[in-house]
């Protein structure tokens, strides 16, 4: 099932690359039309998938090394948001984030990878034209990061599978093809490697569901 799901995940960008490169070779697409930029987007997608799988293999094998340092969480979130900005715009989804600085002991590259994966996953479950808000708070012991949307679409029957890289979707529906969930699994593995955890919680008072990441601060302090 894992191999089938991975093949399904890789097939789309590879098919796009093959078709458009053939069109360029045959002269159907003008090289000056900006096609190279669109092809590079597919290459970036493939690299992100393979990098994510490599990181997951290291995390699951206990071989993931972290270069911890004290960093400002707001800068890491801003970087993750900038990387997902194009995807959000394509779906007319507004991304909102605060600017309060919170210091955190973490590997900045790995944490940026985790939050980027988490935001990409969230965007898949936010209706077109909605708003995905990123909020955080902190105590002396932990930083709490929330991604929430009033129209979150993940069903309760799917939540147990959120952090499994490849799982069998459908629950008896006609389409039971294995489904890739690499971004959520990657985010969960990297947050866990930092001593934190990832969960989905209901917030009845505001009628929404949120993805919540809890991260230990390791004695760091909030910037003024």
CATH 3.30.565.10 applies to domain 67-216: yes
Alpha-helix residue ranges (DSSP H) falling in 167-215: 182-193
CA dist., res. 27 & res. 25, Å (int): 6
Helix (H) or strand (E) holding 115: helix 108-124
DSSP conformational letter for 156: G
Any long-range contacts for 85-89 (C-beta under 8 Å, 24+ apart)?
87/120, 87/123, 88/123, 88/132
Question: Which of 117, 148, 119, 121 has its CA nearest to residue 132?
Answer: 148
The predicted-structure confidence for 54-102, as pLDDT tens digits, reads as follows: 898 888 888 899 999 999 988 888 888 888 887 777 767 777 776 778 8
Which residues does 187 contact at the CB level (< 8 Å), separation at least 6? 114, 115, 117, 118, 121, 198, 213
Task: Please give the pLDDT value at position 2.
Answer: 65
218 - beta bridge partners? none
| Alpha-carbon span 72 to 78, nearest angstrom | 10
Whether this prediction's pTM lies above 0.85 is answered by: no
111-163 per-position pLDDT tens digit: 999 999 988 888 877 878 888 888 888 888 999 988 887 777 665 656 666 66
Could you give the CA distance from residue 35 to residue 43 in angstroms, rounded to a whole number?
13
* Domain ranges for the chain: 67-216
Check if the beta carbon of residue 218 is closer than 8 Å to that of residue 71: no
Report the alpha-carbon distance of residue 47 to residue 32 in Å, rounded.
25
As a whole number of angstroms, the distance between CA 29 and CA 206 comes to 49
Pick from 139-143, 203-207, 211-215: least confident = 203-207
């Amino acid at each position: 099932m894992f191999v089938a799901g991975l093949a399904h995940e890789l097939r789309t960008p590879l098919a796009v690359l093959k078709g458009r490169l053939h069109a360029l070779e045959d002269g159907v697409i003008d090289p000056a039309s900006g096609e190279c930029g669109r092809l590079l987007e597919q290459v970036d997608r493939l690299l992100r998938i393979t990098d994510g799988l490599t990181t997951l293999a290291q995390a699951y094998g206990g071989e993931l090394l972290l270069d911890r340092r004290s960093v400002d969480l707001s800068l890491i979130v801003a970087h993750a948001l900038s990387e997902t900005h194009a995807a959000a715009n394509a779906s007319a989804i507004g991304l909102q984030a605060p600017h309060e600085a919170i210091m955190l002991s973490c590997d900045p590259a790995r944490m940026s990878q985790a939050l980027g994966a988490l935001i990409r996953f969230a965007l898949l479950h936010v209706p077109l034209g909605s708003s995905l808000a990123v909020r955080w708070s902190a105590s002396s012991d932990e930083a709490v990061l929330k991604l929430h949307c009033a129209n979150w679409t993940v069903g309760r029957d799917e939540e147990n599978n959120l952090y499994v890289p490849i799982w069998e979707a459908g629950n008896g529906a006609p389409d039971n093809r294995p489904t890739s969930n690499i971004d959520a699994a990657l985010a969960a593995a990297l947050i866990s490697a930092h001593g934190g955890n990832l969960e989905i919680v209901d917030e009845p008072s505001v009628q929404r569901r949120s993805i919540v990441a809890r991260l230990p601060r390791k004695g760091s302090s909030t910037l003024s």
